[in-house]
């Protein structure tokens, strides 16, 4: 029986992980609202597994109004408490408050004529950095670029944006392509 295509080993635990790896992770995304959604998801991932967040993503979307920053920015404690009781929700009040704070910060950013997408894509001049790691090589948890992005985002008022979260965000949005060279999704294999 023939083996399937080679993929990054981290995704092989679960079909949902494989689908995320094949269809989303490392695919360039610049849409402002999708960038914000990824930031929200990364907020919920802090201290948890990404697979858990993927399994709960539809519940998070429902409880957090589709990650609509204008709606979230208007939330008070009542809405935060209601969201925490929603089915399938990751029940961490500080993370929900962080998402609300980040929504308010995003609106402030827009009022200043700035875009979150531009900030996230700025470390490499708006281009994807394609790394050439091989199977067995560890991915770094953060990089100097993610540390710089973290400082910039914190300075603007965003929360839950440490260097590790920023690097994960950069990987998810395709700012950094960290598919291993042998992976079917590495740019050198996609033609």
Closest CA to 72 of 58, 87, 60, 85: 60
Q: Is 59 annotated as a binding residue?
A: no
CA distance 45 to 177: 20
CA distance 149 to 176: 13
Return the sign of the alpha-carbon dihedral for residues 29, 51, 146, 182: negative
Q: Is 183 annotated as a binding residue?
A: yes
CA distance 24 to 50: 13
CA distance 113 to 118: 11
Q: Is 179 annotated as a binding residue?
A: yes
Q: Is 8 annotated as a binding residue?
A: yes
Write out the catalytic residue numbers. 20, 42, 50
Binding-site residue positions: 8, 21, 179, 183
Binding-site residue positions for Zn(2+): 8, 21, 179, 183
């Amino acid at each position: 029986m023939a083996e399937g295509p080679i993929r990054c080993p981290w995704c092989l635990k679960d079909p949902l992980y494989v689908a995320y790896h094949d269809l989303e992770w490392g695919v360039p995304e610049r849409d402002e609202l999708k960038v914000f959604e990824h930031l929200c998801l990364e907020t919920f991932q802090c201290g948890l597994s990404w697979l858990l967040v993927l399994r709960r993503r539809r519940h998070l979307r429902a409880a957090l109004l589709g990650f609509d920053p204008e709606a979230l920015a208007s939330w008070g404690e009542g809405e935060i408490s209601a969201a925490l009781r929603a089915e399938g929700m990751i029940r961490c009040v500080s993370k929900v408050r962080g998402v609300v704070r980040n929504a308010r910060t995003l609106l402030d950013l827009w009022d200043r004529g700035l875009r979150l997408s531009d900030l996230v894509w700025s470390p490499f001049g708006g281009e994807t950095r394609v790394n050439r790691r091989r199977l067995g090589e560890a991915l770094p948890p953060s990089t100097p670029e993610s540390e710089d992005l973290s400082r910039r985002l914190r300075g603007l008022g965003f929360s839950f944006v440490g260097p590790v979260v920023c690097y994960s965000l950069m990987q998810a949005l395709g700012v950094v392509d960290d598919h291993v060279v042998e992976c079917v999704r590495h740019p050198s294999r996609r033609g």
